[in-house]
């Protein structure tokens, strides 16, 4: 292999390493962009708790963020194994941050999902709790009889 060819290989490897880093950065940016907006998670226009929970459950969808994270991890891993990155600590940290954000959103979505299925049953339990309407009518009639005496 001639010296000129070796020099060209180094230049090509450097270009490939830069492109790999750009791919990781681009996938991370797309991942962050795919996460729900903070206002969508915070604000609501629902009329009741179940409406709020359903809206929140919908807002807590991380969309394509997981796919973008996977792409970032794929290119990052490839670049690391090829020893293509001079300094990749920032990429590794951002991958971890995005992964943590997606995990938090997913966990919150599961909790909201649990509440969404629990709240209607709780409402029914509370509506059925206590004396029945017939008992209430009897108690009112007894109180009226006592007033007549």
What CA–CA distance (Å, rounded) separates 7 from 14? 11
87-140 tens-digit pLDDT? 889 999 999 999 999 999 999 999 999 999 999 999 999 999 977 665 555 555
Query: For a pLDDT cut of 70, what percent of the chain falls above it?
Result: 83
User: Could you tell me the pLDDT band of residue 1, with boundaries at 50, 70 and 90?
Assistant: very low
33-80 tens-digit pLDDT? 999 999 999 998 899 999 999 999 999 999 899 999 999 999 999 998
Half-sphere exposure of 91 (CA within 13 A, CB side): 25
Q: Is the pLDDT of residue 5 over 60?
A: no
Helix extents (H) in the chain: 3-34, 38-42, 49-59, 65-81, 89-128, 133-148
Q: Is the pLDDT of residue 143 over 60?
A: no
pLDDT of residue 137: 56
Mean pLDDT across 5-29: 85
SS3 state at 1: coil
């Amino acid at each position: 292999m001639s010296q000129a060819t070796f020099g060209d290989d180094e230049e090509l490897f450097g270009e490939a390493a830069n492109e790999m880093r750009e791919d990781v950065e681009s996938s991370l940016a797309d991942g962050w962009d795919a996460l729900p907006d903070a206002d969508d998670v915070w604000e609501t226009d629902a009329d009741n708790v179940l409406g709020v929970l359903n809206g929140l459950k919908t807002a807590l969808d991380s969309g394509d963020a997981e796919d973008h994270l996977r792409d970032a991890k794929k290119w990052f891993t490839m670049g690391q194994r090829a020893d293509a990155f001079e300094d990749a600590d920032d990429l590794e940290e951002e991958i971890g941050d995005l992964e943590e954000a997606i995990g938090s959103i997913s966990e919150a979505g599961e909790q909201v999902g649990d509440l969404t299925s629990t709240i209607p049953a709780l409402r029914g339990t509370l509506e059925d709790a206590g004396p029945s309407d017939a008992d209430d009518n009897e108690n009112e009639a007894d109180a009226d009889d006592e007033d007549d005496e």
